[in-house]
Structure 1
């Protein structure tokens, strides 16, 4: 009976104050009355209404929602029924309706969240999936739903679509061998989602450029080789070899150039050798024939080296003896000249050339002239010993006639009890007998 009276009193308050009834009820439900059933129902309804209202507002502002329209209509209907129940002060029924509407709205918003995640995934992975149209639609939905932090904007994805066309064109150009045109398209790319493809295509472009350059160099080199322009051919083919060291064509062509250059060089050196030999420039000829032998290790060239070295050695000996040949009084010089004369005569002097032959004839003539001995008559006291240099001890005599080679001689007499008497004489070739008085004076 008491509860009934309280409820009737509360209803009277609601009727009295209209929409402000809940506020009044809250005032009425304070203190000891807070634990009353009607107050408990009111509090529960207010809490459920507050939560349901938030969810309803969230769902209401979603544009182009991912849920079914009928599902939203059901949630909205239940929510509106709850409001009506609350306004009619059926707080228990209102709380139940609000709770149900919350579940329905949460289901709708859960669908929204799942759709946001799925569409964000489409946008996030567009660089991998290349599903550009789907990603753009997803981005539009996310924008409509108020989602933030998109990894790729719609303009960026539109740029990716343009890049996909460029990438396809690049592949076509590379297949056609048009590396330069392909590179111009790479420079136009707006995004970086094709980084792997670009890396691969750049490698292909590099290969195409290298192959193109290789072909151009080989063509230039072989063309120059056909025209016997070996220098130009070698430069081009050496550059080609750097690009493709294993090319049989290039390596064989370079070997051919080397052989032809070697042959040309050897022919030129042979001509040079002939000129030097004709000019009797044996030192220069020896250098050339040594270079030839280094290129062609033949026994004939080694024999030629020995022959020319022999010419040089003979000429050096002739020059040396000619400078010394003022007299044949030296036994060692006389023997050396005799040996070289015998050696040249045995070898046929004419094969040494005019210059050496001329030097030889001059040496031989000089030697022949100096080889004719002249008479030297010496007068002494018969007591004092006499020495002649070159020569030796002549002993003691009063008169002595010697046959000696023309030249300079030094005569010394050891006069008894006196200082040594020294006389130097010069005997000329072809001279008559020469008288020299070596008598020690008083």
Structure 2
């Protein structure tokens, strides 16, 4: 299928297979942002490879952002050069600077030491051109290029000097069917040196986090935010680029130094990505994962409901009226509304209810499990929302809504075509009276 305008085909969840064979009505204008630091030979190879792309050259803009090299790199006519002062490893800042001046509707991010094969741009930009929230990652292969080796076509020079691909990444793409089965941990398989997305979606994410000032992590943090904001993630194995040198695991002969380096990166991300599997089982992250917003109520009713929720979701943030938050100074998970804006914006899952509730003592474990399971399930495949409801309410219907942020963001962009589903599940929820017996709840003898 060809001649399709961006966003015309609906994508349930992350199912980019519905876009197989779909091509844009017209080839997109693509801006390639190349980050460079003291790699003149590699840069020449990569710029030469970009000059040989099958994508129309009049629809291809190349921007080199130099991250503080001692002298300016040489670039051919038509290539834009931006220079940054040397203030450490600032790949995130460099990519943002390049994106800020880009004119293309689609952005491609490359590193200077990663040279693309001729069809790379065409292959990697197809999905972002037909789906503006698609984020694609190419296949980064590895080679030991011998300088200068610039004149030799990379699709020939690469295989002739090939190094092993990292097994962990290759296996992850195989298990996830090229990220078709992406979940909240799939950010680990998005590599910024072979990345593409629409300029509009990149702007909507806020770009890369410029607080990263050492190697590693900035691409994973951005990919996490992109997925949370509804991105369609896809690995495109036909978009091949060759990295000069081995994967990071092969760049050091000292296993202890490599482990220290990886641990630094993991610790940096621990307080930026709060999802299960990225944070400790006991340690909490500064980054919110689940944010629960409660309606206004009395102090006692708010305390009972918040306690139930935090029993089920111990890492959640619970948002209450400002005055009530001050009643719980010993628990920083309880936030006032005026201080919780950032938490809600960054959460993977949000939970809301119009009514403060409790649960019969006999059903408490089951309801806690149901609430926890709902927060795990939303955002997976095409499930966007779970509504927990009492199947036999004594009064007005009481619903606790569990929402995946990626579904909410997708619905904001496409109110009638977000393609996420809602599932209703039973739970023994009971509306609280204005003044429940708080001591009975805390003591464990309340019904």
With normalisation by structure 2, the TM-score equals 0.18
The structure having more radius of gyration, on CA atoms, is: 1
With normalisation by structure 1, the TM-score equals 0.18
Higher relative contact order (CA 8 A, sep 6+): 2
| Greater percentage in helix | 1
